[in-house]
Amino acid sequence: MLLPSGAALAAGPPDLLDVTLLAVIQGLTEFLPVSSSGHLVLLGSALGVEESGLLLPVALHFGTLLAVLAVYWGSILGTLRDLIGGRPRYLLLVLLGSVPAGVVGVLFEDWFAQRFADPRAAAWGLLGTSAILLACDAVRQRRRQRPAGALRPSDALAIGIAQAVAILPGVSRSGSTIGAGLALGLAPAEAARFSFLLSVVAVGGATLLEARDTLGAEDPSAPGVGLLLLGVALSAVVGWLALRLLLAFLARGILRWFAFYCATLGLCYLLIA
């Protein structure tokens, strides 16, 4: 998810190493269920970096959005064809699932911004991600998988609520939404598809809003155009690879590895910091 205003990045204009590091982290953690926000907040705290502008985060999120479009372009085109053909059901489910995060994000924007300023909140969020993944995996193993295409409005709303919870730093959006889908009995591929089509609305909308505010203001900490384009390209390529890797893990029913990683990272920060 997009970081709120005042997100921590390198102090001053980022250089090539800064952009490369942040793009790789963004690309990997945006899709793997380990929380991109948690990693960026903890990275900023560990390196002692200061607050900076939003132009680079917007560019990196645009790159990972391109990765989603590249992997799911067939599903997106199919949804649009259904809409044109008078079958808007799936699009309406995506829009329904997008409502909770939109409402919560608008009503509690300042409160969430304060949480992003606290690395310990991100560490606790990673522990929350671990618990969510383990709980959803346990429920999935006890439930019978439903037939493909069985997504219901109640499912869309429940997954949307999971996405709203993931606005918290350290709570993985992909982990929460895919985990919720699996716990509801959806097939892994269907849970992933709905999750990432939700991300097109959530991340795409947030990116547009942040870009509107950012591009109209001077940002002395923004990198040059060349570095921004590098960040977009690198986050897109790494994000595409990470998304493909996640789908492979889901096909094998593996989620708990990510839960153990999140728990280890969160605990290490709380114990050491």
Cα–chain center distance at 204: 11
Structure-block tokens of residue 140:
């999935």
Q: How far is CA 52 from CA 6, 83, 135, 219, in A?
A: 6, 41, 37, 9
Lowest mean pLDDT among 106-120, 177-191, 194-208, 218-232: 218-232
Q: What is the mean pLDDT of residues 244-271?
A: 91
Nearest to 194 by CA among 208, 212, 213, 174: 174
How do residues 70-122 score in pLDDT, each as one tens digit?
A: 999 999 999 999 999 999 999 999 999 999 998 998 898 888 878 887 889 99
Residue 3 clears pLDDT 50, i.e. is over it: no
Cβ-Cβ contacts under 8 Å for 170 (sequence gap 6 or more):
35, 37, 38, 41, 121, 122, 123, 124, 125, 126, 127, 128, 129, 266
Say if residue 202 is exposed, middle or buried (CB neighbours under 10 Å; 0-12, 13-18, 19+). buried
Which comes out higher in pLDDT, residue 150 or 261? 261
Q: How confident is the model at residue 143 (pLDDT cuts 50, 70, 90)?
A: confident
- Residue 106: per-residue pLDDT: 84
How many contiguous H segments (helices) and E segments (strands) does the chain have?
11, 0
Q: What is the mean pLDDT of residues 204-230?
A: 70
Nearest to 179 by CA among 201, 195, 157, 200: 195
Kindly state the percentage of the chain with pLDDT values over 90: 51
- Residue 146: per-residue pLDDT: 79
Q: How confident is the model at residue 163 (pLDDT cuts 50, 70, 90)?
A: very high
Q: How confident is the model at residue 47 (pLDDT cuts 50, 70, 90)?
A: low
Integer Cα distance of 123 and 99 in angstroms: 27
Residue 10 clears pLDDT 70, i.e. is over it: no
- Residue 105: per-residue pLDDT: 85
Q: In this structure, are residues 255 and 33 in contact, taking their beta carbons and an 8 Å threshold?
A: yes
